[in-house]
């Protein structure tokens, strides 16, 4: 399965994107501020990561649903998946990057939040959107299909 996150609005305090799964637009996203300005997947040439305020670098990453999040495993909205959220692997300078529920970049800490961008600087209907995205990824994961996300 191939996910494509196309960043469409790089703002000073947040980033809005479109998430495609196998070529079909599924939802909108919100992330922290993009600081990988030369889009090479690294923080160089004066670019700096700011903890909990920086979007992950551009690039392609594997996703697994096989790691339980200690932070979210006991949260009511994640009981349906027992806290096994989509986790991006081998992200340079980041650990524990997830796709999850949230409404603004303040809910992110580097993660990718899914929903509907119907309000400036926010995604709405995040819980329902996350369930939809998770269900699609879970089918692929259960089949043993590799899941990758490309961020452009």
The predicted-structure confidence for 102-135, as pLDDT tens digits, reads as follows 999 999 999 999 999 999 999 999 999 999 999 9
pLDDT at res. 31:
98
Whole-angstrom distance, CA of residue 114 vs CA of residue 17: 9
pLDDT at res. 116:
98
Query: Model's pTM, two decimal places?
Result: 0.96
pLDDT at res. 21:
98
pLDDT mean across residues, the chain: 96
């Amino acid at each position: 399965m191939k996910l494509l996150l196309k960043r469409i609005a790089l703002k000073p305090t947040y980033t809005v994107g479109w998430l495609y799964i196998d070529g079909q637009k599924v939802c909108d996203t919100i992330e922290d501020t993009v600081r990988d300005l030369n889009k090479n997947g690294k923080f160089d040439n004066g670019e700096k990561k700011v903890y909990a305020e920086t979007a992950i670098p551009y690039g392609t990453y594997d996703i697994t649903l096989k790691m339980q999040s200690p932070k979210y495993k006991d949260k009511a909205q994640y009981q349906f998946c027992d806290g096994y959220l989509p986790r991006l692997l081998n992200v340079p300078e980041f650990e524990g990057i997830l796709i999850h529920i949230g409404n603004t970049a303040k809910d992110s800490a580097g993660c990718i939040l899914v929903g509907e961008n119907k309000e400036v600087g926010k995604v709405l209907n995040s819980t329902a959107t996350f369930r939809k995205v998770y269900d699609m990824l879970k089918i692929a994961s259960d089949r043993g299909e590799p899941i990758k996300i490309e961020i452009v």
